[in-house]
Amino acid sequence: MDKRLETVTGQHVNRRKVIGGVGVAAAVPVVAAVGGLNRGVSAKQDLTAEANAIITERELSPEDVTAALETYMPSGRMDDYMMFTSSGHAGMVYAIGVPSMRNYKSIAVFTPEPWQGFGFSEESRAVLEQGAINGKVIHHGDTHHPAISETDGDYDGQYLFINEKTHGRIGVVDLSDFATKQIVKNPLLVSEHGGCFVTPNTEYVMEADQYPGVLGVGNYAPITEYEDKYRGLCAFWKFDREKGRLVQEESFGIETPPIGHDLGDAGKGACEGWAFWNSFNSEFAIGGISEGRPPMEVGASQNDMDLMTVINWKKAEEVVAAGKAVDNMGFKMIPMDVAVAEGLMYLIPEPKSPHGVDVTPDGKFIVVAGKLDPHVSIYSWEKISAAIDAGGWETDNYGVPILDFESCLETQVELGLGPLHTQYDDKGYAYTSLFLDSAVARWTVGEAGNPDSWKLVEKLPVSYNVGHICAAGGDTANPSGKYLVALNKWSLDRFPPVGPLLPQNLQLVDIREGKAFRTLADMPLGYGEPHYAQMIPMDRLNTIDVYPQEDDRVGWDPIANDWHPEGIAAGNEKIEINGTDVTVWMTVMRSHFTPDTIEVTEGDTVTMHITNIENAMDATHGFVIGGQDISLSLEAGETETIKFVADTPGVYPFYCTEFCSALHIEMVGYFLVKPASA
């Protein structure tokens, strides 16, 4: 853990405890008061009567009332969990409190965001530019699967990775300040869906294609050469935890047959060192409705079985170290024949276009959901490794070993229609989303050799068309199992009409011991389509309150995670004019900018390094200036840079956009652009 985390962690935890303590002590139970004539008791009696009147008037059932009590957060009380969800094509990550289901922050990752100033300063613009495609900076992204960094198979709360399907990119969010620090682009993949999943100690962040192509962005082959020239890729991005960055030079991918790798999971416990991805389209369908070929959805659903890809990443790491990978567009790639010869890759049949593949907390079983099959198929790691050791397998057209289905299968459980994704709790239950049934199934994770121990227990209807589900720690080695959130795709009759584009509906589900398995709350989410989410106990997050400051030093660059070379303390503000280049070193604090009058000449190139010299928590200042597409958010202690050409003469007030003090309106300055002719 770096220094700035350690210095602030103590304060943060203490503050939370104090607030929690006061809340508990001040709680007033609304119960019928018995006798007594003092004011306090009669106030309680009044409240009880009022509570009953509200219940009657709003026609609330006992279920409604108890659900409300389970999720209500008195002001100042902290949630138990933070859930990080993707946002689909809004290109962000949302941090939502559980059980209150309130969104505390939308974290800009692939999309510029003016409130956070993301993509407007030179520093954050450079992060977006890391994700440029052939030099073209992209201003959106399709986020799907967030992954919190793990230590020993449990979320450690330090980093969050999020994949981006449209362009095959990954964003790295630092959970010490909830800000995006890096975007990487896989040069071999045009798009990807099978990420992010982390190995148990975040050695690697995994990603894979969903739609195979010719590996390498820009490489071409006609679609009719699909089977010959198109390939899949299962990639492992090396994570440098000290630096908090993914390292392309130490990453690698494994070339695979062109089956569409859909979703994956890293092995843990019993199967640590291995990785699993399931697939659809073992038919190698290529669509072509207008050419008389079957549409993709039909072509890719012909076979009764598709194929799970099983990869030994620990061994693959050694193969790369031994120099057996090739360099493909700056990314190390283990060719398919090498992967087969070295025993790195195996395929296992799995029923019909499956979707999720989810390793049980102990790593003994791998659960594959059927999507077009009402069952989940449970594979035994013990059996899979025995089948690998035994050899004598068949191979596919590309020479990749296909293990025998029956020899790897532990059992199957029939759950209902459209099973997609599975999560686990601490009581031995698994939960699987049923898209077509609009339900979540709760079933028991049984034992090896005892088929009767695997059983559907109950199903809970959700509204509607549930995709992923997220249980607290539900994909880790130690799930905590209190809450589950169903991420529902459709919400048609749940909320007031808002036009034809409807919100997603996140539903909180109680999975606590001794409590009914039921929904507690709806959270319409009107700004993006969350796919997957992960939920971490709140006390595992160690966030900072302000950026680091020392007696003689102020001005932090959160992206470099270091002192900003142009950060300045009060008293060192200046304007330097060098021909047509004007450089300003500015400080901001309640409630002024220094300097507050800047005059340049039309056509000058202006660079401003702006430092927020506040050290109080929440003392954020904004900075906007008309006509230059600039909106900054300067958190306490932060320095940011903007650069623009003063291309239009005139008088431009610049002002603070955060209501920072009673004199916030007065927090203004003038930027004057003298006409060149004057």
Residues at the interface with ligand RUQ (CB under 6 A):
144-145, 193, 263, 355, 420-421, 467-468, 531-532
Looking at the Cβ atoms of 205 and 610, the one nearer to ligand CUA is 610
- Alpha carbon dihedral 444, 447, 452, 457, in 10-degree steps, equals 0
Q: How far is the CB of 597 from ligand CUA (least distance, A)?
A: 17
CA-based radius of gyration for the chain? 28
| CB of residue 165 to ligand RUQ, shortest distance in Å | 7
Q: Are 595 and 573 in contact (CB under 8 A)?
A: yes
Q: How far is the CB of 596 from ligand CUA (least distance, A)?
A: 12
SS3 45: helix
Least gap, CB of 147 to ligand RUQ (angstroms): 12
Rounded Cα distance between 633 and 121, Å, is: 9
Q: Rounded to an integer, what distance in angstroms lies between the CA atom of residue 659 and that of residue 670?
A: 19
Query: At residue 602, what is the residue type?
Result: E
| Interface residue with ligand CUA, options 621, 635, 639, 669 (CB under 6 A) | 621
Please, what is the minimum distance in Å from the beta carbon of residue 433 to ligand RUQ?
8
Minimum CB distance to ligand RUQ, residue 427 (Å):
25
Pick from 537, 556, 544, 536: nearest CA to 1: 544
Residue 468 binding target from ligand RUQ, ligand CUA, none, CB below 5 to 8 Å by type: ligand RUQ
Residue whose CB is less far from ligand CUA, 152 or 666: 666
CB 455 to ligand CUA: min, Å:
59
Output 195 or 267, the one with its CB closest to ligand RUQ. 195
3-state SS assignment for residue 254: strand
User: Which partner in ligand CUA, ligand RUQ, none is near 9 (CB below 5 to 8 A by kind)?
Assistant: none
Place of tokens 């941090």: 95
Q: How far is the CB of 144 from ligand RUQ (least distance, A)?
A: 5
Binding partner of residue 420 among ligand RUQ, ligand CUA, none, CB under 5 to 8 Å per kind?
A: ligand RUQ
CB of 155 or CB of 654, closer to ligand CUA: 654
Residue with the two structure tokens 């697939």: 279
Binding residue (CB under 6 A) for ligand CUA from 664, 668, 672, 674: 664
Under 8 Å between Cβ of 79 and 73: yes
Element (H, E) at 608: strand 605-612
Minimum distance, C-beta of residue 152 to ligand RUQ, in the bound complex (Å): 25
Residues 559-618 binding ligand CUA (CB under 6 A) are: 591
Site size toward ligand CUA, by CB under 6 A: 8
Task: Write the single-letter amino acid at 255.
Answer: E
Residue 435 CB, nearest approach to ligand RUQ (Å): 8
Part of the chain binding ligand CUA (CB under 6 A), chosen from 66-74, 368-376, 433-441, 653-661: 653-661
Task: Say which DSSP state 503 is in.
Answer: P
| Beta carbon of residue 664, minimum distance to ligand CUA (angstroms, whole number) | 3
Task: Label residue 534 exposed, middle or buried (CB < 10 Å: 0-12, 13-18, 19+).
Answer: buried
Residue with tokens 């994704």: 421
Backbone φ and ψ of 598, nearest 5°: -130, 125
- Nearest to ligand CUA of 495, 659 (CB atom): 659
Name which position in 80, 283, 566, 658 contacts ligand CUA (CB under 6 A): 658
Contacted by 609, from ligand CUA, ligand RUQ, none: CB < 5 to 8 Å by type: none
The tokens of 155 are what? 């979320």
Pair of tokens at residue 115: 């409130």
Q: Which helix (H) or strand (E) holds 31?
A: none
> Minimal distance in Å, beta carbon 24 to ligand RUQ?
38
Q: Pick the binder of ligand CUA from 246, 439, 630, 656 (CB under 6 A).
A: 656
Residue with tokens 């986020």: 143
With CB under 5 to 8 Å by kind, the binding choice for 658 among ligand RUQ, ligand CUA, none is: ligand CUA
Residue 6: DSSP 8-state: H
Left (φ > 0), alpha (ψ -120 to 50) or beta: where does 149 sit?
Answer: beta
Which of ligand CUA, ligand RUQ, none sits in contact with 355, Cβ below 5 to 8 A by type?
Answer: ligand RUQ
Give the one entry of ligand CUA, ligand RUQ, none that residue 208 binds, where binding means its C-beta sits below a cut-off of 5 to 8 angstroms depending on kind: none
The one segment of 21-29, 549-557, 577-585, 659-667 that binds ligand CUA by CB under 6 A: 659-667
Q: Which amino acid is at 535?
A: M
Residue 664 interacts, among ligand RUQ, ligand CUA, none and using kind-specific CB cut-offs from 5 to 8 Å, with ligand CUA
In the complex, the smallest distance separating the C-beta of residue 280 from ligand RUQ, rounded to whole angstroms, is: 11
Give me the amino acid identity at 667: M
169 binds, options ligand CUA, ligand RUQ, none, Cβ within 5 to 8 A by partner type:
none
Pick what 533 binds: ligand CUA, ligand RUQ, none; C-beta below 5 to 8 Å, kind-dependent.
none
Query: Which lies closer to ligand CUA via its Cβ, residue 268 or residue 621?
Result: 621
Taking a C-beta distance cutoff of 8 angstroms, is the pair 495, 476 a contact?
no
In angstroms, what is the minimal distance from the CB of 537 to ligand CUA?
34
* 151-17-108 Cα angle (round to 5): 55
Which listed option, ligand CUA, ligand RUQ, none, makes contact with residue 667 (CB within 5 to 8 Å by class)?
A: ligand CUA
Show the tokens assigned to 636. 């306490």
Which residue is associated with the tokens 């018995």?
34
Strands 331-334 and 345-351: unpaired
Is 148 a residue that touches ligand CUA (CB under 6 A)? no
145 interacts with, out of ligand CUA, ligand RUQ, none, CB within 5 to 8 A per kind: ligand RUQ
Spatial separation of the C-alpha atoms in residues 409 and 615, rounded to whole Å: 59
| Residue 255 and residue 215 in contact, taking contact as beta carbons nearer than 8 Å | yes
In the bound state with ligand CUA, the residue whose beta carbon lies nearer, of 362 and 596, is: 596
Answer for which of 509, 667, 671, 673 binds ligand CUA (CB under 6 A) is 667
* Residue 103 falls in which region: left (phi positive, over 0), alpha (psi -120 to 50) or beta: beta
Q: Which does 531 bind (CB under 5 to 8 A by kind): ligand RUQ, ligand CUA, none?
A: ligand RUQ
- Does 660 bind ligand CUA (CB under 6 A)? Our answer is yes
Cβ proximity to ligand RUQ, 490 vs 644, nearer residue: 490
Shorter beta-carbon distance to ligand RUQ: residue 93 or 619? 93
- Please list, in sequence order, all residues whose beta carbon lies within 8 angstroms of the beta carbon of residue 171, skipping any fewer than 6 positions away: 93, 109, 110, 131, 141, 143, 161, 162, 164, 180, 182, 183
CB of 634 to ligand CUA, least distance (A): 9
Find the angle CA(637)-CA(638)-CA(641) to the nearest 5 degrees.
150
Q: Which secondary-structure segment (H or E) carries 577?
A: strand 574-578
Question: If binding is defined by CB under 6 A, does position 272 make contact with ligand CUA?
Answer: no
Q: Quickly count: other Cβ atoms within 10 Å of residue 278's Cβ.
A: 28
Q: Which residues contact ligand CUA (rule: CB under 6 A)?
A: 591, 621, 656, 658-660, 664, 667
